[in-house]
Amino acid sequence: MTTRPTSSPSRSERPRPSAADELVAPILRWYDENARDLPWRRPDATPWSVLVSEFMLQQTPVVRVLPVHEAWLDRWPTPAALAAESSGEAVRAWGRLGYPRRALRLHAAATAITEEHGGEVPSEYDALLALPGIGDYTAAAVAAFAYGRRQVVLDTNVRRVLARTVTGTEFPPRSVTRAERDLGADLLPEDAPAAATWSVAVMELGALVCTADRPRCDACPVVAACAWQRAGAPAYDGPPRPVQTYAGTDRQCRGRLLAVLRDAPGDVTRAQLDAAWDDVPQRERALASLLADGLVAARADGRYQLP
């Protein structure tokens, strides 16, 4: 989701003159030795593979994405291949990755790429940002990781690493700030390929070492330069961090209803949907939201199907 800057840069949040030297080179060396072998990072990965991975990795762990990404690229190796099928097939293939509206958005992006860009994923940030379903982070990530562009890429992992190492706080603000963007730009190597590698390297450090819970500071290549460690690793004292739950929520109910539709060879009856969830008011609410989101279509004969 595109986030507008919300505050002016603070001098205290800008890196010291030596911060880039203290952080960039060690993290790049660490990445060279510890990077995971992921299909969307390989030299032969297509920009489409990178784009698909970025949609799937939003709020979903890598281990769950890997098999779905592989199956997706086998079935739809190009944006045009996906665009040629219904959005309902995209929802079906999305399986249990969660947040299935991402499947609709990816299908819409594939359609726009096919119709407006000759089937080629755009390489420039502005063109990527203009695609449906793509916000600031995804546009920057695809430009950097698929095309080696020099872009500030700020996902949750990157923001946490920079918050700790440079500003000395355990967690970043809930929304991306202007100060964070300036900090990301200050640390970005001038050389475009090096900048793209830096962006994925600091992201990997946040995913594997500088994690939200139980960070492995003893394995961190920049622990000696980390402002948070120098300050004694003070506990986070900002606004309460949101805690996501799933069991018993509308999200789980929506997932159960979608599973009935995904697993059926065609349309389904209302009775089949009713059998998937006992709480009638919640089931009605979840079904209404699925219809409103375009994830489910109601037929004139009272049956339901994927769009």
Percent of the chain with pLDDT over 70: 94
**297 — phi, psi (to 5°)?**
-120, 135
| Active site annotation includes 54 | yes
Q: Tell me: the pLDDT tens digits for 180-214? A: 999 999 999 999 999 999 999 999 999 999 999 99
What pLDDT digit, counting tens, does each position of 72-111 carry?
A: 999 999 999 999 999 999 999 999 899 999 999 999 999 9
Check residue 265 and give its pLDDT: 87
Q: Which amino acid is at 215?
A: P
Per-residue model confidence (pLDDT) at position 1: 37
Identify the active-site residue in 13, 33, 54, 180.
54
* Average pLDDT over all residues of the chain: 92
For 153-178, the pLDDT digits (tens) are: 999 999 999 999 999 999 999 899 99
pLDDT band at 7 (very low <50, low <70, confident <90, very high): very low
pLDDT band at 13 (very low <50, low <70, confident <90, very high): low
Query: Average pLDDT for residues 137-162, to the nearest whole number?
Result: 97
Query: What is the model's pLDDT at position 246?
Result: 80
Which whole number is the average pLDDT over 238-243? 76
Residue 256 phi/psi, 5° resolution? -65, -45
Q: What's the average model confidence in pLDDT over 280-296? A: 95
How confident is the model at residue 243, as a pLDDT? 72
Q: Report the 10 Å Cβ neighbour count for 125.
A: 19
pLDDT of residue 2: 37
β-strands 304-305, 297-298: how paired?
Answer: antiparallel
Q: How far apart are the first and last CA of the chain?
A: 24
For residue 33, pLDDT beyond 60:
yes
pLDDT band per the 50, 70, 90 thresholds, residue 18: low
d(CA 141, CA 125): 9
CA dihedral sign of residues 61, 66, 72, 77 = positive
What pLDDT was estimated at residue 248?
A: 87
Average pLDDT over residues 111-118: 98
pLDDT of residue 11 exceeding 50, the answer is no
Contact 80, 114 (CB under 8 A): yes
Give the pLDDT mean for 231-240: 87
Tokens standing for 289? 């939201």
Q: Give the pLDDT score at 6.
A: 41
Residues 241-284 have pLDDT tens digits of 777 788 889 999 999 999 999 999 889 999 999 999 999 999 99
Q: Give the pLDDT score at 50.
A: 98
Q: pLDDT-derived band of residue 238, with 50, 70 and 90 as boundaries?
A: confident
**Who has greater pLDDT, 138 or 247?**
138
